[in-house]
Amino acid sequence: MSSPTPVELKEALVAYPRALTLRAAASKSSNDLIELDRWYRTELRELVVERMAQDKERRGYLEVAELGRLMEWKLARGKWRPRLVTLALSNTAALVRSVTLNSSTLERDEALKHLSTLSGVGPATASAILALFHPAEFPFMSDEGMAMGRTGFKAEYTIKAWKEYVSSMQEQLKSLGWEKMADLEMAHWSWAILRRYGGAQQDDKGARPSAGKKQDKKVSKAAPAKRKSEAREEEAVEGAEEEEEVVAKPSSSRAERAAKRVKAGSS
């Protein structure tokens, strides 16, 4: 994947809401993305900050229902694997609180390993939790962020890949003079999504972007082949964290109902 220029990254960050709209419209499994992203970046972040302020060691934590919804956010942004939501919700409330609480102040790599002990949580989901706790320092391990500037990129979710990704993002952050890792990851994701779904060609004067269209048919006769290539690339970079079968997406209250099913099955 090619890399955006510094100017393009700034523009992509400004256009992040539009990228969310494009991604949400592109797939039924992502239609809750706008609300989930708002929740993750504002409501949940505020809860974590409040919990850190109340703890003498400045530790934050998540509740099991919050872990389930965070998983929904991650999957809506990428590839939908509902099995992972069920797995995340199968962890006990005490375990989720304990593991996330202890991980919030651990050294970076150890925190990633510790979070990955939770059922359904791999390095990418663990990085989303760390990014929530420390948005200025740790980036979410998104496929779009990891693939940036790496030709022939294949998703690899390991501690080694995490270290390389964080190091690369730190260098970019310093070079650009930006303050928050979260902003840089959002810019990379937005840039990739706008290119993938054709939103980069829209202006900023209030025109509603086309729902899920990757490119205008008038652009090139080679567009179908290009879309197939993009689809193969997207499939390659989105799926390596956990090998789960993609099935039909439950309704908007899926996390709550899944939590009830898990509780009923354990009683």
Q: State pLDDT tens for residues 233-259.
A: 333 333 444 433 333 333 344 554 555
Q: Is 129 within a domain?
A: yes
**Looking at per-residue confidence, does 7 or 160 come out higher?**
7
Degrees (nearest 5) of the Cα angle 217, 219, 225? 70
Q: Is 1 within a domain?
A: no
Q: pLDDT tens digits for 189-221? A: 999 999 999 744 443 333 344 445 454 434 344
Q: Which contacts (CB < 8 Å, 24+ apart) does range 117-120 have?
A: 118/67, 118/88, 118/91, 119/87, 119/88, 119/90, 119/91, 120/71, 120/83, 120/84, 120/85, 120/86, 120/87, 120/88, 120/90, 120/91, 120/242
Task: Look at residue 153 in the predicted model and tell me its pLDDT.
Answer: 64
Please report which confidence band the pLDDT of residue 1 belongs to, taking 50, 70 and 90 as the band edges. Answer: low
Residue 81 reports pLDDT greater than 80: yes
Q: Domain count of the chain? A: 1
**Looking at per-residue confidence, does 118 or 240 come out higher?**
118
Q: Is 54 within a domain?
A: yes
> What phi and psi values does residue 66 have, to the nearest 5 degrees?
-70, -35
Q: How many beta carbons lie within 10 A of that of residue 249, not counting itself?
A: 20
Residue 263 reports pLDDT greater than 50: no
Q: Is 139 within a domain?
A: yes
How far is Cα 60 from Cα 207, in angstroms, rounded to an integer?
40
Instruction: Tell me if 197 sits within 8 A of 23, measured CB to CB.
Output: yes
Please report which confidence band the pLDDT of residue 229 belongs to, taking 50, 70 and 90 as the band edges. Answer: very low
**106: Cα separation from own chain's centroid:** 22
How far is Cα 267 from Cα 256, in angstroms, rounded to an integer?
17
**Looking at per-residue confidence, does 163 or 263 come out higher?**
163
> Can you say whether the dihedral through the CA atoms of 118, 120, 121, 123 is positive or negative?
positive
69-81 in b/e form (b: 16+ CB < 10 A) is: bbbbbbbbbbbbb
How far is Cα 104 from Cα 107, in angstroms, rounded to an integer?
9
207-225 in b/e form (b: 16+ CB < 10 A) is: eebbeeebbeeeeeeeeee
pTM of the model: 0.76
In this prediction, residues 161-189 reach a mean pLDDT of 93
Structure tokens at 132: 């929530």
Task: Look at residue 20 in the predicted model and tell me its pLDDT.
Answer: 96
In this prediction, residues 93-122 reach a mean pLDDT of 94
Q: Which domain holds residue 167?
A: 6-266
Compute the radius of gyration of the chain from its Cα atoms: 18
Q: Is 170 within a domain?
A: yes
DSSP codes of every residue in 92-130: -HHHHHHHHHHHTTS-HHHHHHHHTTSTT--HHHHHHHH
